[in-house]
C-alpha cells in the first residue's frame, strides 16, 4: 500500500486535508498527518510528503527524510460554505482568523478574487501585536484561535486541496489512471452542488447569481448548463477558450437553434455512462453530462469538460521533475561506512573499476547497498559530470520496459505523446545508466539489451533510425545468474557481456566489525548528534545480540532496527527485551546461561592475557562484545576476579591486567587455588 503524509501548521488544517484525501483515496493509500504545532517525529518517511502550505514546508522540512518526494499544496476556498458570508452587511469590518498571518492574508486574497469583497477583512493570527478588536470573526476552520472578545464566529471551514494538486499527487503516487474518473466525478459533484445551490439563489437574489458566476469563472473546467427549457444558462470562460465561442453568442440560446458545430458536437454526442471523449478544435475533451434535478422531471443539465492535454502536461511535468531528481548520483566512496577487511577490499576494487568504461556487474544480497556503490563508482569516474540514471527492472512491466529505456516515436502505440519521447538510455548520454535487478529482465528484452550493449546504439519503438549513445553501464543483481542461465531464464551471451568487471558486495553477516560502526552512524543521522561516545553508550546493552544476529536484510534491516529502537526507546539505551520480536527469537540464547560463571571467568582471564601479550588495552566493553554477554554481567565478573586477585584494574589507557602470579595458570576458584 502506498503511503502519504500530510503536514500542516495547525491540527485542524492537517485533519481537514487528511479527511479530503481519505475520501478520495479510500483504502488504497495510507494517509497520515502531522502538524508543526504538535510533536513532530524525526525522519518522517512516506511515498509522498504533502505540505499544506509554503510555511508548513519551511517549518517542518528538517523533520522529513531528504529522499522522500514532496509536494506543496495549492488550496482553494471551500465553496460550499461561502454563502455564510453573503449574510454579512456590506462594509462590515471582520477579523479573518487563521493559523498563521500568511495563511490569513492568502484566504483574504482568495475571497476577494471570488468577488466576496463587500466585507472589510483584517488578518489575525497568534503572535500578531496590532489588530482591531472586532465583534465578528471569519475563520477557515480555526475557531479555537479566535480571540475571546469576538461575539460572532463565522466558520467557512478549512480550505480544500485544489484539483491541480490532487492530479499532481496522484501522478506522483502513480494512481492517476486508477482515480482519474473518480477524481473528475468527485470534483464535478462539488460543482454540481454549487450549481444547484446557485440556481436556488438565483430565484432569491440577483446578488447571489453574481457570486455564483464568480465561482464558476474560477474553476479549472469548462462548464455549460441548460435550464428546463433547454436554453443555455451557464457558459464559463474556460468553455469559451476551449470551444472558441463567445459566451454572449451562446447564453440564453435554445439548444435546438445552436449552429456552432463545436457546441453541437457536445450536445448531440451520445455519451455512454454519461461521459465521452471528444475532439473539438484539435483538443481532446473529456465531457460529462449530469442532470441537475434527477428527483424531478426538470430537464436542466450541466455539461462539464476538461482538456485532456492539461492532465498530460501535468503528468509530463511531474515525470520531468522526478527524472531530474533521479539523474544525480548523491553518494561517494567517502560516504560508504565500513572498516572490515572485506568491505575495504571491495571498495579498493570498485575505485579501480571507476576509472574504466567497461561494464560492471555488482552482485550482492538485497539491502547491501548496490546502488550506493554504483553511484560512488559514477562519482569517481571521468563521467561524474554527466547524468546518473537508475532503472529497476523489478519495478517496470514488460510492456513499458522497451519504451521507457529506448524511447518511442509519435504514434508508436495508443497513448503515445505527440512528438514521441526519448528513453532513459538517451537521458544517460555521456553519463552512467544503472540497471538494477537485471535478473528480472524478460528474455525478449534481453536480446535487445545485448544489441544495445554491443553496438552502443538504440532504436526508438516505432522507428527504424539508429541513435548512437555514449553510456557507461553498471548492472546489479541479488540473484545468482548462472542457475538462471541453466533454467533458460537468462541469456548466457548477455551474462558474459555484462560480467566484464564483476564485483561482489559482502553481506552484513560477513562484516561483523562494521555492525556497531553502522549503528553509530545511523544513530547520529537520526538524532543529529555528533557525540560518538553517546552513540556507543546507546547500544551498550544490546551490542552482543546485534553482533550475533544473522542480518538477512543486511544494512537496510540494520538501519530499520536502529530507527525502530529510537522510536521505541528514544534516548534511553535499549535492552534485549526492546529488540523486535524477530531479532529476539533469532537470538534464542541467554549469554549468562551459555556458560557457567567459572567458565566465563576463565574466558575473561584468557582474553585479558592475550591482550596483555599483544600489548593492547582491553576493557569491559570489548570483553562484552568478544564473549557475547551483557556489559553489566562483565562488570560483576570483573569485580569478583579483582577480589580473587586474578586481575588488576588500572585507570587510564592501561586497562585490565592479569596478576603476574597467575600469568601461567588457568583460572580456578579460590577454594581450589594453589597456595602461593
What's the whole-number mean pLDDT along residues 357-374?
94
Output DSSP code: residue 589. Answer: -
pLDDT surpassing 50 at residue 404? yes
Per-residue model confidence (pLDDT) at position 514: 93
Residue 513 C-alpha cell reads as 566489525
What's the whole-number mean pLDDT along residues 219-223?
78
Residue 407 C-alpha cell reads as 524511447
Per-residue model confidence (pLDDT) at position 209: 60
Decide: 385 and 326 in contact? Cβ < 8 Å. no
What's the rounded Cα separation, in Å, for the pair 44 and 63?
A: 6
What's the rounded Cα separation, in Å, for the pair 36 and 11?
A: 8
Backbone angles phi, psi at 51, to 5 degrees: -90, 135
Per-residue model confidence (pLDDT) at position 166: 85
The pLDDT-based confidence of 419 (bands split at 50, 70, 90) is low
Instruction: For 228-237, write each residue's pLDDT tens digit.
Output: 888 888 888 8
Per-residue model confidence (pLDDT) at position 473: 95
What's the rounded Cα separation, in Å, for the pair 144 and 97?
A: 10
| Higher-scoring residue by pLDDT: 644, 80 | 644
Beta strands in 432-533 (DSSP E): 432-436, 457-459, 466-468, 472-477, 501-504
The owner of cell 602470579 is 661
pLDDT surpassing 60 at residue 197? no
Instruction: For 55-100, write each residue's pLDDT tens digit.
Output: 899 989 999 998 999 999 988 888 778 888 988 888 899 999 998 8
- Strands of 360-363's sheet in order across: 388-392, 432-436, 472-477, 360-363, 501-504
Which domains occur in the chain, in start order? 82-157 (3.40.50), 219-312 (3.30.450.20), 330-506 (3.40.50.300), 509-586 (1.10.8), 597-662 (1.10.10.10)
Per-residue model confidence (pLDDT) at position 216: 67
Instruction: For 307-322, write each residue's pLDDT tens digit.
Output: 777 666 655 555 555 5
Per-residue model confidence (pLDDT) at position 151: 93
Report the largest interatomic distance among the alpha carbons of the chain, rounded to a whole angstrom. 123
Instruction: For 330-353, write each residue's pLDDT tens digit.
Output: 899 999 999 999 999 999 999 999
What's the rounded Cα separation, in Å, for the pair 183 and 176?
A: 9
> Up-side HSE of residue 181: CA atoms within 13 Å toward CB?
7
Per-residue model confidence (pLDDT) at position 193: 58
Q: Report the predicted TM-score, pTM, of the whole model to 2 decimal places.
A: 0.46
Crossing angle for the helix pair 512-527 and 554-568, nearest 10 degrees? 50
How many other CB atoms sit within 10 Å of the CB of residue 259? 7
**b/e per residue, 297-309, with b = 16+ CB within 10 A?**
eeebbbbbbbbbe
Per-residue model confidence (pLDDT) at position 215: 63
What's the rounded Cα separation, in Å, for the pair 603 and 637?
A: 11
What's the rounded Cα separation, in Å, for the pair 179 and 182?
A: 5
First to last CA, the chain: 72
What's the whole-number mean pLDDT along residues 494-499?
94
Per-residue model confidence (pLDDT) at position 273: 47
The pLDDT-based confidence of 616 (bands split at 50, 70, 90) is confident
The pLDDT-based confidence of 325 (bands split at 50, 70, 90) is low
Residue 106 C-alpha cell reads as 492568502
Instruction: For 533-560, write each residue's pLDDT tens digit.
Output: 888 889 888 888 898 889 999 999 999 9
Per-residue model confidence (pLDDT) at position 611: 86
The H-assigned helical ranges of 341-488 are 341-353, 370-379, 398-406, 424-427, 443-455, 481-486
Residue 85 neighbours by CB under 8 Å, 6+ apart: 111, 116, 119, 138, 154, 156
Cα distances (Å, whole numbers) of residue 616 to 69, 601, 613, 622, 655: 49, 20, 8, 12, 9
What's the rounded Cα separation, in Å, for the pair 29 and 590?
A: 42
Per-residue model confidence (pLDDT) at position 323: 54
Per-residue model confidence (pLDDT) at position 592: 44
Listed range (123-127, 214-218, 283-287) with the worst mean pLDDT? 214-218
What's the whole-number mean pLDDT along residues 118-130?
91
Instruction: For 503-515, write each residue's pLDDT tens digit.
Output: 999 999 999 999 9
What's the whole-number mean pLDDT along residues 411-429?
72
Helix (H, G, I), strand (E, B) or coil at 224: strand
pLDDT surpassing 60 at residue 270? no
What's the whole-number mean pLDDT along residues 170-176?
84
In the chain, the percentage of residues whose pLDDT exceeds 90 is 33
User: What is the DSSP track for 155-189?
Assistant: E--PPEEPHHHHHHHHHHTT-HHHHHHHHHHHHHH
Report the mean per-residue pLDDT for the chain: 83
Bridge partner residues of 4 (DSSP): 31, 48
Decide: 437 and 423 in contact? Cβ < 8 Å. no
Instruction: For 478-493, write each residue's pLDDT tens digit.
Output: 999 999 999 999 999 9
The pLDDT-based confidence of 614 (bands split at 50, 70, 90) is confident
Output DSSP code: residue 412. Answer: S
The pLDDT-based confidence of 595 (bands split at 50, 70, 90) is low
Per-residue model confidence (pLDDT) at position 476: 95
Cα distances (Å, whole numbers) of residue 322 to 69, 171, 460: 8, 11, 22
Per-residue model confidence (pLDDT) at position 502: 95
Give me the count of residues in the chain: 676
The pLDDT-based confidence of 182 (bands split at 50, 70, 90) is low
Listed range (289-303, 374-388, 637-651) with the worst mean pLDDT? 289-303
Output DSSP code: residue 431. Answer: S
What's the rounded Cα separation, in Å, for the pair 122 and 105?
A: 9
Amino acid at each position: 500500500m502506498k503511503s502519504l503524509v500530510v503536514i500542516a501548521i495547525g491540527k485542524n488544517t492537517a485533519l481537514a486535508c487528511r479527511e479530503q484525501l481519505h475520501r478520495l483515496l479510500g483504502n488504497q493509500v495510507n494517509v497520515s498527518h502531522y502538524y508543526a504545532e504538535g510533536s513532530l517525529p524525526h525522519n518522517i518517511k512516506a511515498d509522498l510528503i504533502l505540505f499544506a502550505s509554503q510555511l508548513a514546508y519551511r517549518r517542518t522540512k528538517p523533520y522529513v527524510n531528504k529522499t522522500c518526494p514532496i509536494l506543496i499544496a495549492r488550496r482553494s476556498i471551500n465553496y460550499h460554505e461561502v454563502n455564510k458570508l453573503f449574510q454579512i452587511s456590506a462594509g462590515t469590518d471582520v477579523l479573518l482568523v487563521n493559523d498563521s498571518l500568511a495563511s490569513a492574508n492568502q484566504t483574504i486574497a482568495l475571497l476577494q478574487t471570488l468577488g466576496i469583497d463587500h466585507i472589510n477583512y483584517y488578518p489575525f493570527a497568534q503572535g500578531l501585536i496590532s489588530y482591531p478588536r472586532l465583534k465578528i470573526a471569519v475563520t477557515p476552520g480555526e475557531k479555537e484561535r479566535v480571540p475571546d472578545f469576538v461575539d460572532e464566529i463565522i466558520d467557512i471551514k478549512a480550505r480544500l486541496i485544489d484539483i491541480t494538486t490532487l492530479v499532481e499527487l496522484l501522478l506522483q503516487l502513480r494512481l492517476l489512471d486508477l482515480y482519474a474518473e473518480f477524481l473528475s466525478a468527485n470534483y464535478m459533484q462539488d460543482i454540481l452542488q454549487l450549481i444547484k445551490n446557485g440556481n436556488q439563489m438565483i430565484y432569491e437574489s440577483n446578488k447571489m447569481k453574481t457570486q455564483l458566476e464568480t465561482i464558476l469563472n474560477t474553476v479549472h473546467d469548462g462548464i455549460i448548463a441548460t435550464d428546463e427549457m433547454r436554453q443555455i444558462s451557464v457558459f464559463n470562460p474556460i468553455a469559451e477558450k476551449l470551444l472558441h465561442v463567445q459566451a454572449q453568442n451562446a447564453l440564453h440560446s435554445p439548444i435546438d437553434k445552436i449552429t456552432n458545430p463545436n457546441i453541437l458536437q457536445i450536445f448531440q454526442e451520445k455519451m455512454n455512462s454519461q461521459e465521452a471523449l471528444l475532439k473539438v478544435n484539435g483538443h481532446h475533451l473529456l465531457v460529462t453530462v449530469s442532470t441537475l434535478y434527477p428527483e424531478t422531471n426538470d430537464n436542466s443539465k450541466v455539461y462539464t469538460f476538461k482538456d485532456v492535454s492539461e492532465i498530460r502536461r501535468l503528468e509530463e511535468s511531474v515525470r520531468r521533475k522526478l527524472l531530474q531528481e533521479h539523474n544525480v548520483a548523491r553518494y561517494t566512496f567517502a560516504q560508504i561506512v565500513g572498516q572490515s577487511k572485506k568491505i575495504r577490499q571491495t571498495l579498493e576494487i570498485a575505485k579501480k573499476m571507476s576509472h574504466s568504461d567497461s561494464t560492471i556487474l555488482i552482485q550482492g544480497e538485497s539491502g547491501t547497498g548496490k546502488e550506493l556503490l554504483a553511484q560512488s563508482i559514477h562519482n569517481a569516474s571521468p563521467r561524474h559530470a554527466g547524468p546518473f540514471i537508475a532503472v529497476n527492472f523489478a519495478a517496470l512491466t514488460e510492456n513499458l520496459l522497451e519504451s521507457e529505456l529506448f524511447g518511442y516515436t509519435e504514434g508508436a502505440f495508443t497513448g503515445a505523446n505527440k512528438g514521441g519521447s526519448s528513453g532513459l538510455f538517451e537521458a544517460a548520454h555521456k553519463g552512467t545508466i544503472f540497471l538494477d535487478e537485471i535478473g528480472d529482465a524478460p528474455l525478449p528484452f534481453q536480446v535487445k539489451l545485448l544489441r544495445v550493449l554491443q553496438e552502443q546504439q538504440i532504436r526508438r519503438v516505432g522507428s527504424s533510425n539508429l541513435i548512437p549513445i555514449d553510456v557507461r553501464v553498471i548492472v546489479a543483481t541479488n540473484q545468482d545468474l548462472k542457475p538462471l542461465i541453466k533454467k533458460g531464464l537468462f541469456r548466457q551471451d548477455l551474462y558474459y557481456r555484462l560480467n566484464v568487471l564483476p564485483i561482489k558486495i559482502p553481506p552484513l553477516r560477513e562484516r561483523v566489525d562494521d555492525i556497531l560502526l553502522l549503528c553509530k552512524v545511523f544513530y547520529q543521522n537520526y538524532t543529529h548528534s555528533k557525540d560518538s561516545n553517546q552513540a556507543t553508550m546507546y547500544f551498550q546493552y544490546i551490542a552482543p545480540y546485534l553482533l550475533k544476529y544473522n542480518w538477512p536484510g543486511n544494512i537496510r534491516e540494520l538501519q530499520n532496527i536502529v530507527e525502530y529502537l529510537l522510536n521505541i526507546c528514544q534516548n534511553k539505551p535499549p535492552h534485549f527485551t526492546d529488540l523486535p520480536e524477530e531479532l529476539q527469537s533469532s537470538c534464542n540464547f541467554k549469554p549468562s546461561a551459555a556458560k557457567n560463571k567459572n567458565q566465563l571467568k576463565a574466558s575473561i582471564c584468557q582474553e585479558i592475557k592475550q591482550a596483555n601479550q599483544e600489548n593492547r588495552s582491553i576493557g569491559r566493553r570489548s570483553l562484552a562484545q568478544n564473549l557475547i554477554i551483557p556489559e553489566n554481567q562483565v562488570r560483576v565478573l570483573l569485580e569478583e576476579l579483582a577480589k580473587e586477585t586474578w586481575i588488576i584494574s588500572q585507570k587510564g589507557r592501561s586497562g585490565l591486567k592479569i596478576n603476574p602470579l597467575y600469568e601461567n595458570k588457568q583460572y580456578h576458584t579460590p577454594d581450589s587455588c594453589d597456595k602461593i
